[in-house]
């Protein structure tokens, strides 16, 4: 009996000692992150499965006494998880995935995000904002405050099949939308004359929902010369309220919208009214599209895996064409990450955010995938990319960042809803369900009612 008591005492002491020594491990601050694209995003930190922890990440955790818990989900699922987490104010996720096409604007207005400006000086050894392409930070700036740091980001451009352009006598890529339309017509006629019926002059995205709006808004900007959503082109809620600027979807918005729809119908594949960026990418990679625009990065995503030799050998990049206003067609987006306003560990969360968007991490991303897009000029002009891509192409892509107007659509809290309505209207017109005028009339009526209900015209 005595021996059993001694054993119990010893066992208790051992457990106590173990607990004491293990305590520092448990005391590390845990930071929960949610994102999408397992095996693609941060694969250098979380491995190809998205569930591992590489030595690089473990070193970071050890250095700052942090534990990073990453949760990957399908993009749509992740967006909904973020929304529900923020709406309920649970703070379950310290870092949330955002996007400069709606989430940043909506969540910052709702008070769900922590402004990052004051944090920027707290971890300069990890993240230096001055070294990032400034438009990517601007894209995440709403009402003068920074709400997210950019990860995967891109500007506008065109990827096209130079061999097919050459074949039909187009020796240089057109610099204007008018010239490009003529080129597309020439290619269409050439393909038809050659009996090629499964290659399309153009691929863009026209699926219902927010999908086409990023690119379509770029057409509107190029044709109107300003973000022609509201009278006078205001881009902030205060400006819209001050001027009581009414929607102009049946006005200056129309030429760009109409062109996007016409090009999609006349030069795109038959299913374009349902196409997402994935369809664009696949069609181009399969050699079934001659031009992919204006979100050129989607072509670069498909080219490496293409089994069509001509796609790999004869793809070329060109700057986005200039519209009648003298401004180029836009497409500018950042997949950014922000700190939840409900996080219990905001300082630690920012450290992790700084690390996830830091130059070494972005360099590893560039190394892994080799796409000619990055958020740091230093990476763009280093052998990581210069060894893989022509210098001229890299400088054109760099120009697509610096020349871009990240605010080519209004930065209003209702942006996600507007993007959805605009994209659905475009899809409807591309499919022929409604004419351009009918779609825009409907959009105009909806927008007027929505903005009135939101109190913009009191």
Partner 1 sequence: MLTDWRFWFSVPAVLALGVVVLFPTGFLFWMSVSHWILTEPGVYFYGFQNFATLLNSSAFHSAAWVTVSYLVLSTTIMLGLGFAFALALSRPGSPGYLRALIVMPLVIPPVVAGFTWRFLLNGEIGFLGAYLLPAIGLETNLLASPVGALFSVVIADVWSRTPFMFLIFLAALQSIPRDYYEAIRLDGAKRYQEFWLVTLPMMKGAVSVAILFRIIDALNTFELIYVMTKGGPGRATQTFSLLGWKIAFQGFDFGGAAALGVVMVFATTVVALIVFRRFMRSA
Q: How far is the CB of 438 from partner 1 (least distance, A)?
A: 10
In the complex with partner 1, which residue's Cβ is closer, 188 or 288? 288
Q: Binding to partner 1 by residue 425, rule CB under 8 A?
A: yes
Q: Which stretch binds partner 1 (CB under 8 A): 92-100, 355-363, 366-374, 428-436?
A: 428-436
Number of residues near partner 1 (by CB under 8 A) = 49
Give the pair of three-digit tokens for residue 433.
Answer: 């369900």
For 136, 152, 234, the CA distances from 226, given in Å and listed in that order, are 19, 26, 9
Q: Binding to partner 1 by residue 318, rule CB under 8 A?
A: no
Q: Binding to partner 1 by residue 241, rule CB under 8 A?
A: no
Which of these, 263, 127, 143, 264, lies nearest to 207 by C-alpha position?
264
Contact pick of 47, 209, 360, 377 for partner 1 (by CB under 8 A): 209
Q: How far is the CB of 109 from partner 1 (least distance, A)?
A: 6
Backbone angles phi, psi at 457, to 5 degrees: -115, 25
Q: How far is the CB of 16 from partner 1 (least distance, A)?
A: 41
Sheet with 158-161: list strands edge to edge. 200-203, 289-292, 158-161, 315-318
Contact pick of 20, 27, 144, 198 for partner 1 (by CB under 8 A): 198
Contact pick of 430, 440, 447, 451 for partner 1 (by CB under 8 A): 430
Q: How far is the CB of 373 from partner 1 (least distance, A)?
A: 26
In the complex with partner 1, which residue's Cβ is closer, 341 or 354? 341
> Per DSSP, what are the bridge partners of residue 71?
34
Q: Binding to partner 1 by residue 286, rule CB under 8 A?
A: yes
Q: State the Cα–Cα distance between residues 212 and 342, nearest whole angstrom.
A: 32
Interacting positions 76-105 with partner 1 (CB under 8 A) = 79-80, 83, 87
Q: How far is the CB of 420 from partner 1 (least distance, A)?
A: 4
Q: Binding to partner 1 by residue 420, rule CB under 8 A?
A: yes
Query: At how many degrees (to 10) do helices 177-193 and 254-267 cross?
Result: 20
Residue whose structure tokens are 């993007």: 419
Q: How far is the CB of 370 from partner 1 (least distance, A)?
A: 26
Contact pick of 186, 325, 434, 448 for partner 1 (by CB under 8 A): 434
Contact pick of 32, 177, 259, 282 for partner 1 (by CB under 8 A): 282
Q: Binding to partner 1 by residue 283, rule CB under 8 A?
A: yes
In the complex with partner 1, which residue's Cβ is closer, 2 or 270? 270
Q: Binding to partner 1 by residue 106, rule CB under 8 A?
A: yes
Q: What's the gap between Cα 352 and its chain centre?
A: 20
For 28, 84, 235, 351, the CA distances from 68, given in Å and listed in that order, are 10, 21, 37, 11
Q: State the Cα–Cα distance between residues 430 and 373, nearest whole angstrom.
A: 30
Q: Which stretch binds partner 1 (CB under 8 A): 29-37, 50-58, 127-135, 441-449?
A: 441-449
Give the pair of three-digit tokens for residue 395.
Answer: 């400088």
Q: Binding to partner 1 by residue 39, rule CB under 8 A?
A: no
Burial class of 17 by CB neighbour count within 10 A (0 to 12, 13 to 18, 19+): exposed
Which of these, 226, 453, 413, lies nearest to 330 by C-alpha position?
226
Which of these, 329, 322, 336, 281, lies nearest to 133 by C-alpha position?
336
Q: State the Cα–Cα distance between residues 140 and 104, nearest whole angstrom.
A: 6
Interacting positions 248-277 with partner 1 (CB under 8 A) = 269-274
In the complex with partner 1, which residue's Cβ is closer, 287 or 406? 287
The pairing of beta strand 29-36 with beta strand 95-97: parallel
Q: How far is the CB of 319 from partner 1 (least distance, A)?
A: 28
Contact pick of 330, 357, 429, 444 for partner 1 (by CB under 8 A): 429
In the complex with partner 1, which residue's Cβ is closer, 393 or 431? 431
Q: Binding to partner 1 by residue 161, rule CB under 8 A?
A: no
Taking residues 390 to 419 in sequence order and writing x for each that binds partner 1 by CB under 8 A, - otherwise, the string is -----------------------xx-xx-x
Q: State the Cα–Cα distance between residues 340 and 214, nearest whole angstrom.
A: 25
Contact pick of 167, 288, 312, 314 for partner 1 (by CB under 8 A): 288
Which residues have a Cβ under 8 Å from the Cβ of 317 and sit 6 or more positions away? 157, 158, 159, 296, 372, 393, 396, 397
Q: Binding to partner 1 by residue 308, rule CB under 8 A?
A: no
The answer to whether the beta carbons of residues 223 and 294 sit under 8 Å apart is no
- CA atoms 361, 363, 364, 365: torsion sign: positive
Q: Binding to partner 1 by residue 116, rule CB under 8 A?
A: no
Q: Binding to partner 1 by residue 195, rule CB under 8 A?
A: no
In the complex with partner 1, which residue's Cβ is closer, 124 or 435? 435
The answer to whether the beta carbons of residues 269 and 207 sit under 8 Å apart is no
Residues in touch with partner 1 (CB under 8 A): 79-80, 83, 87, 106, 109-111, 198, 206-210, 269-274, 279, 282-283, 286, 288, 413-414, 416-417, 419-420, 424-425, 427-434, 439, 442, 445-446, 449, 453-455
């Amino acid at each position: 009996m005595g021996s059993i008591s001694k054993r119990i005492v010893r066992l208790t002491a051992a457990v106590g000692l173990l607990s004491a020594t293990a305590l520092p491990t448990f005391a590390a601050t845990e930071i929960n992150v949610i994102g999408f694209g397992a095996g693609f995003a941060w694969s250098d930190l979380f491995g190809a499965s998205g569930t591992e922890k590489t030595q690089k990440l473990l070193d970071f955790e050890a250095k700052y006494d942090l534990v990073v818990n990453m949760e990957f989900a399908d993009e749509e699922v992740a967006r909904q998880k973020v929304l529900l987490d923020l709406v309920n104010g649970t703070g379950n996720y310290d870092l949330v995935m955002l996007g400069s096409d709606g989430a940043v604007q909506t969540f910052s207005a709702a008070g769900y995000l922590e402004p990052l400006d004051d944090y920027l000086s707290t971890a300069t050894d990890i993240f230096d904002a001055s070294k990032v392409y400034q438009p990517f930070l601007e894209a995440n700036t709403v009402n003068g405050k920074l709400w997210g740091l950019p990860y995967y980001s891109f500007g506008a451009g065109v990827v096209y099949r130079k061999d097919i352009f050459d074949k039909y006598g187009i020796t240089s890529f057109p610099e204007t939308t008018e010239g490009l339309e003529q080129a597309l017509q020439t290619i269409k006629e050439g393909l038809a004359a050659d009996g090629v019926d499964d290659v399309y002059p153009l691929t863009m995205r026209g699926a219902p929902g927010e999908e086409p709006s990023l690119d379509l808004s770029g057409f509107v900007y190029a044709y109107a010369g300003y973000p022609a959503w509201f009278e006078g082109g205001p881009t902030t809620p205060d400006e819209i309220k001050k001027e009581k600027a009414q929607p102009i979807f049946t006005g200056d918005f129309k030429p760009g919208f109409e062109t996007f729809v016409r090009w999609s119908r006349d030069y795109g594949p038959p299913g374009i009214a349902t196409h997402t960026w994935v369809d664009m990418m696949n069609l181009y990679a399969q050699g079934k599209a001659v031009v992919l625009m204006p979100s050129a990065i989607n072509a670069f995503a498909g080219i490496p895996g293409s089994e069509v030799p001509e796609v790999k050998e004869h793809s070329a990049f060109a700057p986005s064409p200039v519209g009648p206003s003298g401004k180029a067609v836009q497409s500018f987006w950042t997949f950014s990450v922000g700190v939840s306003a409900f996080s219990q560990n905001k300082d630690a969360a920012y450290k992790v955010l700084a690390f996830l968007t830091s130059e070494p991490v972005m360099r590893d991303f560039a190394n892994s995938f080799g796409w000619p897009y990055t958020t740091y000029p230093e990476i763009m002009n280093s052998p990581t990319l210069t060894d893989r891509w022509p210098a001229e192409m890299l400088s054109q892509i760099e120009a697509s960042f610096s020349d871009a107007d990240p605010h080519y659509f209004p930065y209003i809290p209702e942006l996600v809803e507007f993007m959805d309505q605009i994209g659905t209207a475009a899809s409807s017109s591309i499919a022929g369900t409604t004419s351009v005028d009918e779609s825009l009339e409907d959009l105009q009526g909806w927008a007027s009612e929505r903005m009135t209900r939101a109190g913009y015209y009191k």
